[in-house]
Amino acid sequence: MRTDTGHVFKLEDYRPSDYLIPKTNLDFRLSPDATRVSAVLTIERREGVAASAPLVLDGDGLTLLGVAVDGHALSAADYLATPDQLTIAKPPAASRFELRIETEIAPARNEALMGLYRSSNVYCTQCEAEGFRRITYFLDRPDILSVYTVRIEASKDEAPLLLSNGNPVESGALAGGRHYAVWHDPFPKPSYLFALVAGGLGKVADNFTTMSGREVELGIYVEPGKERLAGYAMDALKRSMKWDEEKFGREYDLDVFNIVAVSDFNMGAMENKGLNIFNDKYVLADEETATDADFANIEAIIAHEYFHNWTGNRITCRDWFQLCLKEGLTVYRDHEFSADQRSRGVKRIAEVRTLRAHQFPEDQGPLAHPVRPRRYREINNFYTATVYEKGSEVVRMIRTILGPEAFRAGMDLYFERHDGEAATIEDFLKVFEDVSGRDLAQFALWYHQAGTPNLTVSSAYNAPAKEFTLEIEQSVPPTPSESRKRLMHIPLAFGLVGPDGKPIAWAGVEGAAVEDGVIHVRKRRHTVRFTGVAERPSVSLNHGFSAPITLSVQQKADDQFFLAAHDSDAFARWQAFNTLLTDALIAAFRQVLGGKEPSFAPRLAELAGRIAGDAALEPAYRALALSLPGEADIARDIGKGIDPDAIFAAREALARTIATANREAFTALYDSLADQGPFSPDAASAGRRALRNILLDYLSLLPEGVAVAARHFQSATNMTDRAAALTVLAHRHAGLAQAREALAGFEAKYRGDALVLDKWFQIQAGVPGPHTIDIVRALTGHPAFSIANPNRVRSLIGTFSSANPTGFHRADGEGYRFFAETVLEVEKRNPQVAARLATALRSWRALEPGRQAKAKQALLTMANAENLSADLRDIVERTLA
């Protein structure tokens, strides 16, 4: 475990390495406790580099067995080796030479799950970002591209399957019950994309014919006996391959494409060239074990990792500061894929909810950083919502500004110009400038500047002059190390909506560039005047969430109610209703703090009822609209002095008001939505289940609610409905016999299925109230819980700390104390998972003073722990700064 934390890596310090490694040959002799790795590296000195330049290779906890140059073994005096670095002070004078390195590693003892490790007796790797150096000494940086040939040798009984990147070359039997396989990847790649899997796994096989007529063998490898659960993943893979050909002209380039599902994995999945390795929760699914959300996640993540073949693998990033170049771009691509496979409007709302829940708090807190960071101490801590989700939004804005045709032309040029290279954000932006003739210098601030921009907007209508005016002012709040902000280029899509719900035309516009329904906000203030506007419009802003900003709009409540009922833009219509709900909840929060009973305008509940019953709207849209803003969303909009108990009380009061006002209509609609046929994970069916289950949540607040939820649980024929009913029973009716019986029955039914039991852990960790910490403490001793398994830790500890405000933020601070103890325990095995858990306290300064002091003490407890890893120390110190 690395504990050094002093070095800060800076973008401005980047320079190319003195040496390249154009060819890498690896030979693995696998053994759980003593795997021998032989690396034969072709080393090439860059042109212009002095022959006296030392060769310094990265390592991490390695045991060196030997070093040879051009076939001659080096003596100990010829090099300097530590577990974390190998230095050859006087390399050969020749510009090109061969370096052989022998190391020994212990995969079975690797609980950090980086490098080569064992998961359920299967050897597997995770090398992004800096895991390859845990396998052998190397120039472990993304701008070192090498062609890999890999030989794997193992006991055939222990590991009958031997996989690596690229295409299979040969395989055969060896003496002593061992065997081998050789793989070759003809495409140069960085070390973080290296992969190896060896073990006993079941296979689901298929094939795909590319647009040029090439046959590609597809394989998904899973734990034996679970092959039937990989069918949806295979279908998603084939749809992804077809979509990438049609939308971006990208054809797959190897003879085989393999996916392996493992149960111990720090991330969701990894895009290793030709051999994707997945957390098994994003591969395995059927209606009995997976929810509709699980199916959607599998579809999206299978697509995301496949799309990396071009945006990440064929074109990679020059350095880790450019991480958003592969991740943000590929998130945009998987969002577009899901939008085409499902409902574009519904998918867009879901994306924005995710962005606001995870990235907005990041931008507003001590961990804020630009989409392209300028400095870091531990790169693992920058796999963030800012890099991924905000990075995707920046790509989307490029498309909005340029239009779909110029955007596609820019992407085509990007693939043509930079194939086989390690590129930068500047390279990416340049292709769009070249195809469009536009200057994107101001727009580039979206990559360079942290913080969420805010637009303050007011409007006025001059009836005699038939003029409608928008006053727009932009600002970006200060963030750590950035107190002064520069003006952004914000593409603000909008509409002027008439009393009949139809768009209102205008004759002319001045005060800002307005193109294709988009106002280009570039200055501090704009006065945008529309002429020839026949009647007063309601202004609808940020259509489709065209920019990742916050809006402060001076708008009458009547206009908001009107837009919530009539806006033609799905996102803007949802946003109007969501704004009404948020405003009502903030007012109720303040009433609760003042000792009053919350009260709500009757027309808010009436509007909820009309939306629920509007058959012209997709069921999935209605379900999203009826989902009240989350407790964290409300806290974010309140800003300071947060009392989670008061927010919870306000939210429950509004939900109960809506349920009571719409009791008969909600009951009738709930009954009408019951499944009539066999289960299907398609978007329409999932939407109907989502609407029925949100109605169940409301109905559970009524006197007969517990009986309705119990019947729903007992009659459920799929995991979506079963988990929804169990959540309602556990969260709304904890302690009642029906809830206890449902929890016990669920655990007994799925005792042997770890992924389903994760849902059971998650549901209990999310039970609101001060007593949940006792439940969570007890569950850490459950036979199915393992503090060494990231999925178990995330389902129980992650849910409690990040998705249960009233439980985690218990007023006496016990939640924080338990959390600090647990994070430090996780960190002993897996610093990366511990660091990500610790981000749950990133918004501690927004709490009311009593909780704030106790949260700070928990952070100090972690900061003062001995031998703290670089990962966790980085997060804790930045959070406290």
- Residue 454 vs residues 86, 388, 578: alpha-carbon distances, Å: 50, 21, 18
721-780 pLDDT, tens digit each:
999 999 999 999 998 999 999 999 999 999 999 999 999 999 999 999 999 999 999 999
Element (H, E) at 602: helix 602-613
Strands 269-270 and 55-58: what pairing?
A: unpaired
Element (H, E) at 727: helix 719-732
pLDDT score recorded for residue 325 = 98
pLDDT score recorded for residue 4 = 58
Q: How far apart are CA 674 and CA 645, in angstroms?
A: 34
Q: Where does residue 572 fall: left (phi above 0), alpha (psi -120 to 50 degrees), or beta otherwise?
A: alpha
Measured in whole angstroms, how far is the alpha carbon of residue 26 from the centre of its chain? Answer: 32
In the chain, what percentage of residues exceed pLDDT 70?
99
Q: Average pLDDT of 318-328? A: 98
Residue 191, C-beta contacts closer than 8 angstroms, at least 6 positions apart: 24, 127, 132, 133, 138, 139, 140, 141, 144, 146
5 has pLDDT over 60 = no
As a whole number, the mean pLDDT across the chain is: 97
Q: Where does the pLDDT of residue 281 fall: very low under 50, low under 70, confident under 90, or very high at 90 and above?
A: very high
- Choose the catalytic residue: 305, 327, 351, 393: 305
From 187, 319, 338, select the one nearest 252 (Cα to Cα): 187
Q: Where does residue 47 fall: left (phi above 0), alpha (psi -120 to 50 degrees), or beta otherwise?
A: beta
Q: What are the respective helix, strand and coil percentages of the chain, to the nearest 5?
A: 45, 20, 35
Q: Average pLDDT of 250-266? A: 98
706 has pLDDT over 80 = yes
532 has pLDDT over 80 = yes
Q: What is the 3-state secondary structure (H, E, C) of 627-690?
A: CCCCHHHHHHHHCCCECHHHHHHHHHHHHHHHHHHCHHHHHHHHHHCCCCCCCCCCHHHHHHHH
Q: How far apart are CA 322 and CA 422, in angstroms?
A: 10
pLDDT score recorded for residue 1 = 63
Please give the span between the terminal C-alpha atoms of the chain, in angstroms, as a whole number.
24
pLDDT score recorded for residue 2 = 63
The SS3 call for residue 529 is: strand
In the chain, what percentage of residues exceed pLDDT 90?
99
From 783, 760, 767, 875, select the one nearest 824 (Cα to Cα): 875
Active-site residue, 305 included: yes
583-638 pLDDT, tens digit each:
999 999 999 999 999 999 999 999 999 999 999 999 999 999 999 999 999 999 99
Cβ(598)–Cβ(653) under 8 Å?
yes
Residue 270, C-beta contacts closer than 8 angstroms, at least 6 positions apart: 126, 127, 128, 195, 276, 277, 278, 305
Cα diameter, the chain: 95
pLDDT score recorded for residue 277 = 98
pLDDT score recorded for residue 676 = 82
415 has pLDDT over 80 = yes
Q: How far apart are CA 103 and CA 398, in angstroms?
A: 47
The SS3 call for residue 202 is: strand
Instruction: Tell me the chain's radius of gyration from C-alpha atoms.
Output: 28
What are residue 373's phi and psi, to 5 degrees?
Answer: -60, 155
From 270, 308, 314, 271, select the one nearest 414 (Cα to Cα): 314
213 has pLDDT over 80 = yes
